Amino acid sequence: MGQKIMQTIMMCTLIAMFIIGCSASDSGKVDQGRVISFDKDKGLITIARDVNHDARQPDYNSLPVVYQKPVNPDDMGPEPKAGQRMKLDAVKKQIIIFDTTTRGFKTINYTLIDEQDNIERKHPLVYDKAIQKPKKFPIINRDKRLVTVYSPRQKKLVTFSAPIEYFSLPDSTWNAGDDVMIYYQQDGKALRLKNISEPDKE
């Protein structure tokens, strides 16, 4: 219980600091969600809203919203990474994705091949100590219809088989995009954007 309270306090503090970073005369709103796509040329960021507003226990049960990125690069930081994996449910053996073709959410039932638990970010299975960098996921073998994904939040490394029709989708289908917090006054135009994925990315 104490840990949950501390997490809530930290999130509230983050939101407060985020808003304070804007002009005191501003009267805007804060949005939060997972980045589904990022069009660098047009500067458009599409997110699926987190209806829980909780990066540790997100619920992306909302159709996508598009924002124009902040005009000032200092109000955004590094470009967010996009991905269409909304949830990995290891209990039900399901993955929820956002299908960019149908513009809707889909639940995929998978066949478990292997599951490793308690895999921290620096574990040899997910981190290359030789180059001091995380290994790249997802790992996709279309010939064998296998996908390996890593969830830092759940500390799980999962390899599974899925129906063949899903292997025609892009690799980003199986990847979890960055979670971001957006401050805005006018709908669709971000004034500030903060990446809040670490250490809670699905």
Joined tokens for residue 72: 């000032």
Q: Which domain holds residue 138?
A: 103-174
Joined tokens for residue 52: 């829980």
What lies within 8 Å, CB to CB, of 48 at 6+ separation is: 33, 34, 36, 60, 62, 63, 64, 65, 86, 98
pLDDT at 103: 87
Contact 35, 60 (CB under 8 A): no
pLDDT per position as a tens digit, 157-188:
999 999 999 999 999 999 999 999 999 999 99
| DSSP H helices in the chain | 2-20
Q: Are residues 145 and 107 in the same domain?
A: yes
pLDDT at 55: 66
pLDDT per position as a tens digit, 5-54:
444 444 455 555 454 455 544 678 999 999 999 999 999 999 999 888 77
pTM: 0.80
Residue 135 inside a domain? The answer is yes
Residue 151 inside a domain? The answer is yes
Residue 90 inside a domain? The answer is no
pLDDT per position as a tens digit, 73-100:
999 988 999 999 999 999 999 999 999 8
